[in-house]
């Protein structure tokens, strides 16, 4: 008994007194990010204007860290509350949108996921209502002849992977957060979306990577860029769908896409866009991939993913920083260093902390 207590005490000491480096770095990177937060708009500052869909991503990341780290939680709750109150009607210079709605289905999808994450953090149903409202609006005037997959923009033809992945992910997340008939409806909607998304020669190519879009004419893969966020949102969506259905086929397919990304889009083990010079938007994408990988890892833990995230977090922190900000390439030679590149950097620190407790 004494020996047991002694060992137990030692392990308690270890977890309580060794301050986890990843968490300390994530906290510090978020402090830097908050210097770029405008509390009167609820949005983070970009190169010229306030950031819109990127702000939804930043909020999601902050929320995930608030769920992970009890010391950060109260700060995360405050940021969520203020952003909810102030950002719903966007400033005129970036579109003057109301209730986070605009013509872009992906923009609305990012905000919807941010409010789902906010619900997870706070259990306040107002966030879930906002997420559902946006999910419904994503389908307004956007369904296509490709089995009802959705368009990138209301009134135009382009059918992007990102919009359809976000749509699937939201439906699957909602299925796990409502009950009864509603649960069954969202689960069925998510399963149908996956069935249509996953058809041969649609979004997923022979290398098990997701291209940017399909042709509106014949619903076939357009072979456009395999951005990392296209590989990432689907991972979180399929992890939620596996949880909602108890079917492992979804995470099996997610694992194929994840492993292909770790192989084909990660030279030297570092996650890298297939395009060299990233702009403000492109610099945000890697964050969505690592967030999706952490969600998949939470559903089906895999030491390879945990190790990949740790390696990339260390690279972003040790090599990717220019001054206080993490740049657009975690290898350290990135030429875009601003709010969105830093946001992706926070994502990898948080994702690595989730996958490697106490590292």
Ligand X SMILES: *[C@@H]1O[C@H](CO)[C@@H](O)[C@H](O)[C@H]1NC(C)=O
Q: Which residues of 239-250 are buried (b: 16+ CB within 10 A; e: fewer)?
A: bbbbbbbeeeeb
Selected from 23, 26, 33, 41, the binder of ligand X by CB under 6 A is 41
- Pick the piece of the chain touching ligand X (CB under 6 A) from 34-42, 58-66, 174-182, 338-346: 34-42
CB of 340 to ligand X, least distance (A): 17
Buried b (16+ CB within 10 A) or exposed e, 344-357: bbbbbbbbbbbbbe
| The only residue of 28, 38, 99, 302 in contact with ligand X, by rule CB under 6 A | 38
Q: Which of residues 169-198 bind ligand X (CB under 6 A)?
A: none
Q: How far is the CB of 152 from ligand X (least distance, A)?
A: 27
Residue 302 Cα to chain centre, angstroms: 19
Question: How many Å apart are CA 154 and CA 135, to the nearest integer?
Answer: 14
Q: What part of residues 79-118 is at the interface with ligand X (CB under 6 A)?
A: 91
Q: Which is nearer to ligand X, 56 or 265 (CB)?
A: 56
Q: Which is nearer to ligand X, 37 or 227 (CB)?
A: 37
Q: b or e along 82-109 (b: 16 or more beta carbons within 10 Å of the residue's beta carbon)?
A: ebbeebeebbeebeebeebbbbbbbbbb
End-to-end CA distance of the chain: 30
Candidates 19-27, 38-46, 238-246, 304-312 — which segment interacts with ligand X by CB under 6 A?
38-46
CA 121 to chain centroid, in Å, comes to 15
Candidates 37-45, 139-147, 228-236, 319-327: pick the segment binding ligand X (CB under 6 A). 37-45
Residue 264: Cβ-neighbour burial (10 angstroms; 0-12, 13-18, 19+): middle
Maximum alpha-carbon separation in the chain = 73
Which segment (36-44, 58-66, 75-83, 234-242) binds ligand X by CB under 6 A?
A: 36-44
Query: Does position 11 bind ligand X by CB under 6 A?
Result: no
Selected from 11, 40, 246, 276, the binder of ligand X by CB under 6 A is 40
Give the binding site for ligand X (CB under 6 A).
38, 40-41, 91
């Amino acid at each position: 008994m004494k020996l047991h207590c002694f060992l137990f005490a030692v392990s308690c000491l270890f977890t309580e007194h060794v301050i986890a480096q990843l968490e300390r770095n994530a906290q510090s990177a978020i402090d830097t990010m908050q210097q770029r937060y405008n509390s009167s708009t609820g949005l983070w500052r970009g190169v010229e204007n306030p950031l819109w869909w990127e702000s939804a991503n930043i909020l999601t990341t902050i929320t995930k860290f608030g769920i992970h780290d009890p010391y950060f939680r109260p700060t995360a709750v405050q940021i969520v509350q203020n952003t909810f109150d102030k950002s719903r009607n966007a400033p005129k210079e970036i579109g003057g949108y109301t209730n986070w709605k605009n013509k872009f289905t992906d923009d609305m999808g990012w905000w919807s996921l941010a409010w789902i994450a906010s619900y997870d953090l706070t259990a306040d149903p107002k966030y879930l209502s906002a997420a559902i409202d946006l999910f419904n609006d994503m389908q307004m005037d956007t369904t296509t002849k490709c089995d009802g997959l959705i368009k990138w923009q209301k009134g135009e033809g382009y059918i992007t992977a990102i919009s359809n992945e976000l749509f699937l992910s939201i439906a699957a997340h909602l299925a796990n957060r409502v009950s009864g008939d509603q649960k069954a409806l969202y689960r069925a909607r998510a399963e149908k979306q996956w069935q249509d998304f996953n058809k041969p020669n649609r979004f997923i190519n022979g290398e098990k990577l997701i291209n940017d879009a399909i042709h509106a004419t014949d619903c076939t893969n357009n072979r456009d860029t395999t951005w990392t966020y296209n590989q990432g949102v689907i991972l979180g969506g399929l992890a939620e769908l596996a949880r909602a259905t108890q079917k492992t086929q979804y995470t099996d397919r997610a694992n194929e896409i994840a492993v292909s990304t770790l192989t084909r889009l990660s030279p030297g083990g570092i996650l890298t866009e297939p395009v060299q010079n990233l702009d403000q938007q492109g610099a945000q994408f890697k964050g969505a991939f690592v967030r999706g990988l952490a969600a998949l890892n939470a559903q089906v833990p895999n030491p390879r993913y945990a190790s990949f995230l740790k390696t990339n977090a260390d690279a972003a922190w040790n090599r990717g920083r220019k001054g206080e900000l993490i740049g657009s390439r975690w290898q350290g030679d990135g030429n875009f260093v601003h709010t969105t590149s830093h946001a992706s950097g926070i994502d990898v620190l948080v994702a690595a902390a989730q996958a490697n407790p106490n590292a």
